[in-house]
Structures are given as structure tokens and as C-alpha cells.
């Protein structure tokens, strides 16, 4: 989804499928979301996240994960996924992996898998500074 204003695309948001260990799609992974630097701080990101999450719910996806800064995403209702027994190898400490869901938490810890393109995008280049 893109945020377009006056014929100009100022921001975008994307989702990819999130799978359980058996390969079943159990929800969506939000990201990346980005707003052109000149327009950041104008609530474009907030609108994209709110509207796109709503569309995802309307399409029947009742669980959305995101791997980012909790300071930003908790304002949209996301909470740390580890508090609901979900985990990803991309964030072993579980300090940035969040979820918003209408489902009850799994009883036991459940690992979820991002799609391969997302995982590749998250890999850091060895030897490069962060
Ligand atoms: C993160 C991003 C999408 C937010 O979009 P935006 O339109 O600038 O954000 P909004 O105007 O909706 O919200 C602004 C608020 O978010 C906060 N915020 C923005 N990025 C943040 C971050 N990474 N961590 C914590 N808070 C953040 C701002 O401080 C501001 O807070 P305030 O409402 O208390 O003043 C945008 O800044 C961006 O494209 N950043 C670079 C790419 C990026 O980091 N993407 C996120 C990857 S998960």
C-alpha cells in the first residue's frame, strides 16, 4: 500500500506471510514501512500502519507481527511477541519482535518463520558497521 498525496508517493507499507514451523501461514509480517525523509513526522507512517492493518484484518488475517522499535509500534497496539509465546530466530532476545492479534496466546512457545526474502533483507553484511 502506498500513501499518495498530490500525485506524489510519500510512503509505503508492505506485508509478507508468516508461517509456523510446519509451513502453515498463521498471519502476516508487517514491513518494511517507510516515509520519504522530507515527510516524516506528519503521521503518514501512522496512517499507513493503521489503515493497512485494518485491511489485513478485513481480509481475515487476525495476527500481524512486526520486528522493529517497540517505542513506535506499541502505540498501534503491538506488544512483545514473547509475552504471547511467539518467537523468531531473527530476534533471539525477543526485544523487538511484536505482535497484534485477536487470538489467544499459544500454550507453548511457538517459533514463526519470516519468508526468505524478508530474512535475506534482515541479514547484515559481515564486516560492515551497523
Ligand atoms: C518509522 C517511519 C515509517 C514513521 O513514519 P512517520 O510518518 O515519520 O511517523 P508518524 O508521523 O506517524 O509518527 C511520528 C512519531 O513516531 C516516532 N517515531 C518515528 N520513528 C520512530 C522509531 N524508529 N522509533 C521510535 N519512535 C519513532 C516519532 O518520534 C514521532 O513521535 P511523536 O508522535 O511522539 O512525536 C518513518 O520515520 C521512516 O520511514 N523511517 C525510516 C525507515 C524506518 O525506520 N522504517 C521502520 C522500519 S520497521
Residue 126 lies in a domain: no
CATH number at residue 69: 3.40.630.30
Domain interval for residue 30? 2-117
Number of domains making up the chain: 1
Which grid cell is 9?
508517493
**C-alpha span between 97 and 77 (Å, rounded):** 13
In a domain, 130, yes or no: no
Q: Is residue 129 part of a domain?
A: no
Say how many Å lie between the CA of residue 33 and the centre of ligand 1. Answer: 9
| Model confidence band, residue 122 (pLDDT cutoffs 50, 70, 90) | confident
Query: Does the residue 123 lie in any domain?
Result: no
pLDDT of residue 33: 97
**How does pLDDT run across 15-47, given as a tens digit for each residue?**
999 999 999 999 999 999 999 999 999 999 999
pTM (2 decimals)?
0.92
pLDDT the model gives residue 124: 58
Atom of ligand 1 nearest to the CA of 31: 48
Q: How far is the CA of 122 from the centre of ligand 1 (A)?
A: 19
The residue with cell 500481524 is: 64
Distance CA 48, CA 33 (A): 8
Q: Are 61 and 53 in contact (CB under 8 A)?
A: no
In a domain, 17, yes or no: yes
Amino acid at each position: 500500500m502506498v500513501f499518495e498525496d498530490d500525485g506524489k508517493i510519500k510512503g509505503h507499507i508492505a506485508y509478507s506471510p508468516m508461517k509456523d514451523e510446519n509451513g502453515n501461514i498463521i498471519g502476516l509480517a508487517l514491513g518494511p514501512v517507510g516515509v520519504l525523509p522530507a515527510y516524516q513526522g506528519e503521521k503518514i507512517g501512522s496512517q499507513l500502519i493503521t489503515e493497512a492493518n485494518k485491511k489485513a484484518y478485513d481480509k481475515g488475517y487476525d495476527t500481524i507481527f512486526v520486528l522493529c522499535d517497540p517505542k513506535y509500534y506499541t502505540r498501534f497496539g503491538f506488544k512483545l511477541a514473547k509475552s504471547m509465546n511467539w518467537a523468531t530466530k531473527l530476534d533471539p532476545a525477543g526485544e523487538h519482535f511484536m505482535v497484534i492479534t485477536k487470538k489467544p496466546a499459544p500454550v507453548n512457545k511457538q517459533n514463526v518463520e519470516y519468508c526468505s526474502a524478508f530474512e535475506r533483507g534482515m541479514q547484515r553484511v559481515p564486516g560492515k558497521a551497523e
